[in-house]
Amino acid sequence: MKTIGLIGGMSWESSSEYYRILNEEVKQRLGGLHSAKCILYSVDFEEIENCQRNGEWGKAGEILTDAARSLELAGADLIVICTNTMHKVANEIQSGIRIPLLHIADVTAKQVLLNGINTIGLLGTRYTMEQDFYKSLLEAQGIKVLVPKETDRVIVNTVIYNELCQGQIIDESRARYKRIIQDLIREGAAGIILGCTEIGLLVKAEDSSVPLFDTTLLHAKGAVNLALE
C-alpha cells in the first residue's frame, strides 16, 4: 500500500472527512484491521484565505508547495490537496515535487462521464465557480459547465466561508442551496458537482433530483485507488 500525503486544513472540517473516507475505503477493500497509510500536513487556513482574498495566489502556491515537499520528504508516495479552490495552483505544486498529485477535477470529470452526463452544474467558492482553472478541465473533457447566477454565487460562497468552514450546518442555508440546485437543473444540468469539499457536509443526495458528485468522496476514493494499485 502506498502512503497518501494530504495537504489539509482548508478547512479542517473537510480534511477530517478525507481521513474518515480514506480509512473506511481501505477497511472495506482489504478487510480486517487494515487502515490507510497517510500523512497529513494541515496548514493555517486563515493564512491561505488571506492570500485568496488578496489575489496572492503565488504566495499561497509557495505555502502549499512547501507542504507538499514536506510530505514527500516524510515518505508520501502521492499528494492530495484537500480542497477544490487551491487546485488553482496545482501545476505549481506538481512542478515542485517528484511524486504525483491527484487532481480533484480529473477524478470528478471521470465520474461525471461514467454517469453519461455532459451538462453539469458547479457549486463551489466564487473562485472555483467564476475562474477557469477548474471549469476548463471539465470542459476539456467535453462537459458543459453551468454555474449559478451572480446573486446565488454570493450565497454559495458566503455559506462556505462563514458557515461550513466554521462547522455550522444551518437548515436555512440547505434550503437555499436546494433552490439554487433546482435552478441549475431547470437550466439543463443533469448532475451537480459539489465543487467545494465542505458542501457535502450540508447537501446530501436526497436534496437533489439529479446525481450529486461529492468531490471530497470522489477525491478520497481516487487516492485509495492509487494507493492500492
DSSP sequence for 3-43: PEEEEE-TTHHHHHHHHHHHHHHHHHHH-TT----EEEEE-
Q: Which of 51, 65, 82, 83 is catalytic?
A: 83
> In whole angstroms, how large is the CA radius of gyration of the chain?
17
Q: Catalytic: 83?
A: yes
Residue found under cell 502549499: 64
Q: Catalytic: 3?
A: no
Closest to 87 in 3D by CA, of 74, 76, 101: 101
Q: Which three cell numbers stand for residue 105?
A: 477535477
DSSP sequence for 172-202: HHHHHHHHHHHHHHHTT-SSEEE-STTGGGT
Q: Which of 196, 197, 215, 216 is catalytic?
A: 196
Q: Give the helix/strand (H/E) hosting 108.
A: helix 104-114
Q: Give the helix/strand (H/E) hosting 158.
A: helix 150-162
Burial-class residue 206 by CB neighbours within 10 Å (0-12, 13-18, 19+): exposed
In angstroms, rounded to a whole number, what is the distance separating the alpha carbons of residues 106 and 66?
A: 23
Residue found under cell 466564487: 126
By annotation, the residues acting in catalysis are: 83, 196
